[in-house]
């Protein structure tokens, strides 16, 4: 296959995914992952530009998710989001590690990689689904994203503490990230309100945000860190800037449009391409067991707390918290590159990660989406009718 044919095929997949999504009423992220997996197993391989853009797409989705968080609600519901998010991380991590080490006979470090990879919840998938379904601006949606962030924070810390050896470049990455976040929080207001920059067809505000996120990616790669967490924190701190004026809200909407039209589809398609069905078939029993353990542990960690704090959206919350993608793939790839896991183990883990991004999301969208519950809307939260119990 000629290299210049790959972008055309990917473009066709992106467009076809949108049509299928609209026709079936499914999240376009699910369709893109499935079609990406089909294309990958038919011989289509991601090129270098696709891999980088996929990483950038995950960072943009994480940043946008941060901008949707209601910091006031997050403070008010800190107990709920922390408990849900932390148990959503701890129980799958422990369950998968114990099975991989004692039952499957994996090495100690390989088992830790497995536990880390399957403990995640995909902020990118959760955010995409909530935006598409109109739930991103509801109290339940914002609590879901806050809980997901806690889960991914636990995963990132586990990956860093257990495996990554800090170097000078790691300190540089942390320092640059903190300084970029601090300066962006101080300067973004001037960028969004400057009359020389507003409403220009060249979109300088969006390019400014892209520059900040690209800086995170560069220094993260340099320091062997992850740009997802600083990107989320930047989005969280810039929430106020995006809500200050109508012009800044327009900037966020334009950024979302650019991301969903061009960049984030590559993220989900490349994620699907990482699945090797022949390798999974050689360890199908292990694949099924690990998938069941991940989902069951997520349910134990989330459902009963969600029943207490989000009674009207408990099943929807549990299913979306069971998804995985970005950090799970990152952890698996880290294990493969360092030699902690082999190619078969990598394919099984990534297969479970991506299956968890598709199956629970499909079930949640199809049968448990709380779109008819008027009492989950953010505007009703002041009256105590947002479907959330007090933490």
pLDDT for the residue 122: 79
156-184 confidence digits (pLDDT tens): 778 777 776 777 888 888 888 888 888 88
pLDDT for the residue 373: 44
Cβ contacts of residue 379 below 8 Å, gap of 6+?
none
Q: Identify the three-state secondary structure at position 61.
A: helix
Q: Is the whole-model pTM more than 0.75?
A: no
Cβ contacts of residue 338 below 8 Å, gap of 6+?
163
Task: Please say whether the beta carbons of 63 and 231 come within 8 A.
Answer: yes
Domain ranges of the chain: 3-383
Checking if the pLDDT of 386 tops 80, the result is no
Question: What are the tokens at 152?
Answer: 């991914």
Question: What are the tokens at 274?
Answer: 């990482």
pLDDT tier, 243 (very low <50, low <70, confident <90, very high otherwise) = low
Q: CA-CA distance, 58 to 267, in Å (whole number)?
A: 6
- Mean pLDDT over residues 190-200, rounded? 68
pLDDT for the residue 93: 94
Question: What are the tokens at 133?
Answer: 């379904």
Checking if the pLDDT of 380 tops 60, the result is no
pLDDT for the residue 294: 93
pLDDT for the residue 375: 38
Q: CA-CA distance, 308 to 101, in Å (whole number)?
A: 33
DSSP 63-101: HHHHHH--HHHHHHTHHHHHHHHHHHHHHHHHHHHHIII
Q: CA-CA distance, 94 to 372, in Å (whole number)?
A: 36
Q: Cα Rg for the chain, rounded, in angstroms?
A: 20
Q: Tell the CATH topology of 3-383.
A: Na+/H+ antiporter like fold (1.20.1530)
pLDDT for the residue 376: 43
What percent of the chain lies above the pLDDT cut of 70?
Answer: 86
Checking if the pLDDT of 244 tops 70, the result is no
pLDDT for the residue 108: 92
90-118 confidence digits (pLDDT tens): 999 999 999 999 999 999 999 999 999 89
pLDDT for the residue 372: 46
324-373 confidence digits (pLDDT tens): 877 787 788 778 877 888 888 888 998 898 888 888 888 887 787 775 44
- Mean pLDDT taken over the chain: 80
Checking if the pLDDT of 146 tops 70, the result is yes
290-319 confidence digits (pLDDT tens): 999 999 999 998 888 888 887 777 888 888
């Amino acid at each position: 296959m000629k290299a210049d044919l790959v972008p055309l095929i990917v473009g066709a997949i992106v467009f076809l995914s949108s049509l299928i999504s609209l026709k079936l009423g499914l999240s376009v992220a699910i369709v893109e992952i499935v079609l990406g997996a089909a294309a990958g197993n038919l011989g289509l391989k991601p090129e270098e530009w696709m891999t980088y853009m996929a990483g950038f797409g995950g960072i943009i989705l994480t940043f946008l998710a941060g901008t949707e968080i209601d910091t006031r609600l997050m403070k008010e519901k800190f107990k709920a989001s922390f408990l849900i998010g932390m148990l959503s991380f701890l129980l799958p991590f422990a369950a998968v590690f114990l099975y991989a080490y004692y039952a499957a006979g994996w090495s100690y470090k390989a088992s830790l990689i497995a536990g880390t990879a399957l403990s995640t919840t995909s902020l990118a998938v959760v955010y995409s689904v909530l935006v598409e379904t109109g739930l991103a601006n509801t109290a339940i949606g914002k609590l879901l994203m806050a809980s997901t962030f806690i889960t991914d924070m636990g995963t990132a810390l586990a990956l860093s503490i257990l495996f990554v050896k800090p170097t000078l470049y790691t300190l540089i990455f942390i320092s640059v990230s903190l300084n970029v976040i601090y300066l962006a929080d101080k300067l973004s207001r001037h960028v969004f309100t400057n009359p020389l920059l507003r409403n220009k067809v060249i979109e300088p505000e969006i390019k400014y945000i892209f520059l900040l996120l690209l800086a995170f990616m560069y220094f993260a790669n340099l320091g062997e860190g992850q740009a997802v967490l600083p990107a989320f924190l930047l989005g969280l701190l810039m929430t106020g800037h995006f809500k200050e004026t109508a012009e800044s809200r327009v900037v966020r909407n334009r950024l979302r449009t650019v991301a969903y039209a061009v960049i984030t589809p590559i993220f989900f398609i490349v994620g699907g391409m990482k699945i090797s069905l022949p390798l999974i078939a050689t360890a199908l029993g292990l694949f099924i067991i690990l998938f069941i353990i991940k989902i069951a542990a997520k349910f134990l960690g989330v459902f009963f707390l969600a029943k207490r704090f989000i009674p009207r959206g408990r099943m929807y919350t549990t299913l979306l918290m069971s998804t995985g993608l970005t950090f799970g793939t990152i952890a698996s790839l880290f294990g493969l590159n360092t030699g902690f896991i082999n190619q078969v183990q990598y394919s099984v883990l990534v297969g479970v990660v991506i299956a968890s991004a598709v199956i629970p999301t499909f079930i949640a969208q199809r049968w448990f989406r709380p779109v008819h519950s008027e009492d989950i809307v953010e505007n009703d939260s002041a009256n105590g009718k947002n479907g959330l119990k007090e933490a």
